[in-house]
Amino acid sequence: MSRFAQAVAHSNIALAKYWGKADVVRNLPAVPSLSLTLDGMRTTTEVTFSPELLADELLLGASLQQGKPLTRASKLLSEVRGLAGSSLFARVRSHNDFPTASGLASSASGFAALALAATRALGLQLPPARISALARAASASAARSLFGGFVELAAGAESAERVAGPEHWPLVMLVAVTSEAAKDTGSTDGMQHTERTSPYYASWVSDAPRLFAEVKAAVLGRDFARLAPAVEQSALAMHASMLAANPALIYFRPATLSVIETVRALRKGGTPACFTIDAGPHVKVLVEPNSAATLRSALASTAGVLRVLESAPGPDAAVFDGAFGEPSA
Ligand code: DP6
């Protein structure tokens, strides 16, 4: 039995946001979320379980990790060891083809790829929902990156579910990158701080299901005019709950607001586009394919935008049985 596997998972951007936990220990989300998996932003992860290792090791790009990132990965690996009845430690090598830890959802694709590679390396053939649940325990948004296309994670759910495949609606997601720096406050700490200190957190949690339902109906009906206001309201209501925290959690930078202005001005002129913002300063702009070029050049010439990444709806996470193999699942 092989103790090595390599997996690829794609990042996802929530159109209806997850922010807040129903159960901190089990990492269950307080609100339902719906995301789009992106073909242009991916993590490749190799896992090797070996009797020669005395502890788990995690290499992200070229840098060996200690502390929180290693602890989180090790926790997931221990879950997998438990399921497989193994006591071997693992060496994990993971590489993103986009900037890490600055609100570009690297933990989502990272933990999805890790859950898939680790289970396969120890010979486990688990159903996607089970792998999604392993990823969710590490980082709830990662549950969604197991699936391609449009994906939901219900409030309190163990695992994510596909809403529609990538071919359902060929939208384009443009990411206006406004900083290369790592963010100060990660999502996990940020949402718990919001829950503890923001008087608007309860309102966010009570209204999020309505916004989720609106986003889901618009996605299923491929109705951009219905989708755009719900996507923006979900992002801005989430950020409003953070802004009212004490001390305030402000992920926006001047360039973030400049991009919002650009998108709103174009929409006023009839271009179908809407924005969303996660726990970082970048702005993700969703657009119909025939307006992607217009949007892309408008974003690139907006003050403070460093570069623009472009993605179509992405595929399911996939495992490679050998380092240079073809995806087999
Ligand atoms: C703003 O999934 O990173 O991107 O479960 O604590 O790891 P943990 O949080 P995480 O939060 C993502 C928050 C978000 C919105 C979203 O992706 O739905």
DSSP string, 253-266: -HHHHHHHHHHHHH
How many whole angstroms separate alpha carbon 316 and alpha carbon 168?
Answer: 14
Domain boundaries, the chain: 3-167, 172-311
DSSP 8-state class, residue 307: E
HEC sequence for 99-133:
CCCCCCCHHHHHHHHHHHHHHHHCCCCCCHHHHHH
**Ligand 1 pocket check for 185: Cβ under 6 Å:** no
**Ligand 1 pocket check for 160: Cβ under 6 Å:** no
Q: Going by C-beta distance under 8 Å and a sequence separation of 6 or more, which residues neighbour residue 218?
A: 224, 226, 227, 230
How far, in Å, is the centroid of ligand 1 from the Cα of 139? Answer: 7
Return the closest-CA partner of residue 95 out of 42, 148, 39.
42
Under CATH, domain 172-311 is a member of which superfamily? GHMP kinase, C-terminal domain (3.30.70.890)
Q: Give residue 182's pLDDT.
A: 73
**Ligand 1 pocket check for 31: Cβ under 6 Å:** no
CB 312 within 8 A of CB 39: yes
Q: Which of 27, 141, 147, 211 to mutate to test the pocket of ligand 1 (most atoms within 8 A of CB)?
A: 141
Q: Give residue 277's pLDDT.
A: 97
Atom of ligand 1 at shortest distance to CA of 18?
Answer: 18
**Is 3-167's fold the same as 172-311's?**
no
The third-level CATH classification (topology) of the domain covering 3-167 is Ribosomal Protein S5; domain 2 (3.30.230)
Read off the pLDDT of residues 257-284 as tens digits, 9 standing for 90 and up: 999 999 999 999 999 999 999 999 999 9
Continuous segment of H or E residues that includes residue 47: strand 33-50
How far, in Å, is the centroid of ligand 1 from the Cα of 256? Answer: 19
How far, in Å, is the centroid of ligand 1 from the Cα of 303? Answer: 27
**Which positions of the chain have pLDDT values less than 50?**
101, 322-329
Atom of ligand 1 at shortest distance to CA of 190?
Answer: 6
Read off the pLDDT of residues 7-59 as tens digits, 9 standing for 90 and up: 999 999 999 999 999 999 999 999 999 999 999 899 999 999 999 999 999 99
How far, in Å, is the centroid of ligand 1 from the Cα of 107? Answer: 8
How far, in Å, is the centroid of ligand 1 from the Cα of 17? Answer: 8
